[in-house]
Amino acid sequence: MYQARIETVLASMREMGLEQMLISDPDSIWYLTGYDVSPFERLLVLCLRQDGRHTLFLNRLFPPPGEGVPCRQVWFSDSDDYLSILASQVDAGRDMGIDKDWPARFLLPLMERNPGCRYVLASSCVDGARACKDPVEQQLMRVSSQINDTVMERAAAFLRAGITEREVSEYIVSQYAAEGCDQVSFHPMTAFGPNAADPHHEADGTVLQEGDCVVIDMGCRKDRYCSDMTRTFFFRSADPKYTAIHDLVREANELAESMVRPGVPLKELDRAARDHIAAAGYGDYFTHRLGHFIGQTEHEQGDVSSVSPIIAKPGMIFSIEPGVYLPGQFGVRVEDLVLVTETGCEVLNHVDKRWRILG
């Protein structure tokens, strides 16, 4: 499995004319080797080479990798000149690919030590491989989304008069723990009434009142893989103007999902959803991209937007999340994750998307 993933990255590197690349993102290192460690401020880097002499550079404070890690290991301590060690182990005469997350405190000294090397941003080599999930990853994403379905229904049932946004978000976190999740993929967003007009509202002490819309955006991380879903409800009563907007947003979500299949430019999905909302007069209130990629983190490289250059491929998983936000009044978002299949897509979320009056 790991060797196949490495070969995919090496093929992308060859397309860029790269013989070597340094990868520092711990999630990407785990993806390519199975080695899992959080380095905090210390150096952790994997060097991939076309000649197969892959090397993992490790601080002696880190635990040793288990058997089967497909690369040799170079160890150092805090007192060693570890960047000189790294510089001596790479090819100083060839271009070096670098991933987007490597801190300048490591990159700049390496550039000083190997001034003849040209450094190239090559994150796309790894990001492209991670974007298309293999069957094992796809099943892990299904499980994570199944938990999200379960907890979303519990959160909806938990709503009652006098409850605060913060209490709902804390309840969601507790239910993820009860389901054996590793952690949240992001802190749950709960927004009541006018607060829902802020797409990134942070739950606070606002109290739920009759007639409020309730936007819940939530996701968990189970066995390293994340889920993400948004549903919008109403408490005890609903303004017909707002339910009509909810229907509009749901229709935009379903329209975009119906178009997902291999070969479709993702910008066309954004355009279709956006045009549907704009035709009803709310185009100016759909203020964000249609979706984002997801996997080991809730926002992986790649998006579904009007400027996305990405063409849908089997194994890709991304969100479809149109919204309308009326400042000071109301907000609605309907979000699913979709998996691109060989013939279309699989929607990973199954909680009813139609508006409901709760309480």
Report angle CA 153, 352, 322 to the nearest 5 degrees: 105
Instruction: Give the 3-state DSSP-derived string for 88-118, with helices as H, strands as E and coil as C.
Output: HHCCCCCCEEECCCCCHHHHHHHHHHCCCCC
Residue where the block lists tokens 């409020």? 212
Residues with pLDDT less than 50, the chain: none
Q: What pLDDT does 1 receive?
A: 86
3-class DSSP assignment, residue 167: helix
Q: Residues 290, 254: contact at Cβ < 8 Å?
A: no
DSSP state of 283: G
- pLDDT tens across 208-235, in order? 999 999 999 999 999 999 999 999 999 9
DSSP state of 35: -
Distance, CA of 224 to CA of 144 (rounded, Å): 9
- pLDDT tens across 156-205, in order? 999 999 999 999 999 999 999 999 999 999 999 999 999 999 999 999 99
3-class DSSP assignment, residue 248: helix
Q: Residues 239, 204: contact at Cβ < 8 Å?
A: no
Distance, CA of 176 to CA of 220 (rounded, Å): 7
DSSP state of 311: B
Tokens of 71: 């690369």
Q: Residue ranges of the alpha helices (H) in 260-297?
A: 266-279
